[in-house]
Amino acid sequence: MQGLIMEIRAGTGGKEAAIFASDLYRMYTRFATQKNWPVKTLSSNRTTLGGFKEVIFEISSPDAYEQLKYEGGIHRVQRIPATEKSGRVHTSTATVAIMTKVSTVEVNINPSDIKYETFRSSGPGGQNVNKVETAVRLIHAPSGVVVECQIERSQARNKERAIEMLRAKLYETKQREQQEKMGDQRREQIGTADRSEKIRTYNVPQNRLTDHRINKSWHNLSDIMEGKLDKMIASFKK
């Protein structure tokens, strides 16, 4: 079953950015669950406060990419952190990358180009939680792309999933290079997943979400964060 791989990383804002990355992960996985789409976390790096420095997961559905392909880019949140005593609104960011799962025909990887490493899977704060090195890290020499997978119990399965992640990342890079060659046509597109683009602002005090690409706002942010994304997604199909 085809689907997508989503990568969410904490951006500017320190611990609050990591919490926001976790909030986005929850939003997207709840949306997928409501659609009955299988979700599996491939790799994550948690903070001690429960946030994510990075989380990578797959959604296995032929409809997932078409529904979520416009989510790639920089997401910005404006809110009062729980640790803020003065009640001052902080701004933090997280980046979202959407990568379609691709076949070996679309991206051919030479096994000799991959450096293969194993390590112990880790929990919050980076401490090792397994005594056996089942986690896998792949380094693609020609591109410098590095991927990790530690969710499976066996090293072989983690390696298999890591190769899927690597293939998706290489395909994304290939697409981005093609888009950059298109010049002005690229700038006219919505949702190129370019990480330099601030695509959306989540204003929590005003319960408002604004997408800057289509200059449209929704005033039900609390519902959206619970995974109710259908109306927002529909706005990109018009």
Eight-class DSSP state of 205: T
Q: How many helices (H) and strands (E) does the chain have?
A: 6, 11
Q: Are 218 and 231 in contact (CB under 8 A)?
A: yes
Q: Is residue 164 domain-resident?
A: yes
Q: Is residue 153 domain-resident?
A: yes
Q: How far is CA 51 from CA 9, 18, 20, 25, 184, in A?
A: 10, 5, 7, 10, 38
Q: Determine the structural domain holding residue 136 and report its residue range.
A: 111-181
- Do both 94 and 147 map to the same domain? no
Residue 125 has pLDDT above 80, yes or no: no
- Do both 20 and 136 map to the same domain? no
pLDDT tens-digit series, residues 3-21: 888 999 999 888 999 999 9
Q: Pull the structure tokens for residue 121.
A: 């899977």
Give the pLDDT band (50/70/90) at residue 194.
Answer: very low
* Helix or strand holding residue 196 (H, E): none
Mean pLDDT of the residues in the chain: 83
The whole-angstrom separation of Cα 16 and Cα 13 is 6
pLDDT score recorded for residue 227: 96
Q: Is residue 238 domain-resident?
A: no
- Do both 16 and 67 map to the same domain? yes
Give the pLDDT band (50/70/90) at residue 31.
Answer: very high
- Do both 198 and 177 map to the same domain? no
Q: Is residue 10 domain-resident?
A: yes
- Do both 83 and 139 map to the same domain? no
Q: Which residue pairs, CB below 8 angstroms and at least 24 apart, start in 186-194?
A: 190/70, 190/214, 190/236, 191/69, 191/70, 191/71, 191/72, 191/73, 191/236, 192/72, 192/73, 193/69, 193/72, 193/73, 193/96, 193/97, 193/98, 194/72, 194/73
pLDDT tens-digit series, residues 42-76: 888 888 888 999 998 999 998 999 999 899 889 99
pLDDT score recorded for residue 118: 87
The whole-angstrom separation of Cα 38 and Cα 57 is 10
Give how many domains the chain has, as a whole number: 2
Give the CATH number of the domain where residue 196 resides.
3.30.70.1660
Q: Is residue 92 domain-resident?
A: yes
pLDDT score recorded for residue 128: 46
Q: Is residue 237 domain-resident?
A: no
Q: Is residue 123 domain-resident?
A: yes
Q: What is the mean pLDDT of residues 105-122?
A: 79
Nearest CA to 200 out of 221, 184, 182, 181 is that of: 221
Q: Between vectors from CA 125 to CA 123 and to CA 131, what angle results, nearest 5°?
A: 40
Give the pLDDT band (50/70/90) at residue 32.
Answer: very high
- Do both 212 and 170 map to the same domain? no
The whole-angstrom separation of Cα 83 and Cα 91 is 14
pLDDT score recorded for residue 185: 40
Give the CATH number of the domain where residue 165 resides.
3.30.160.20
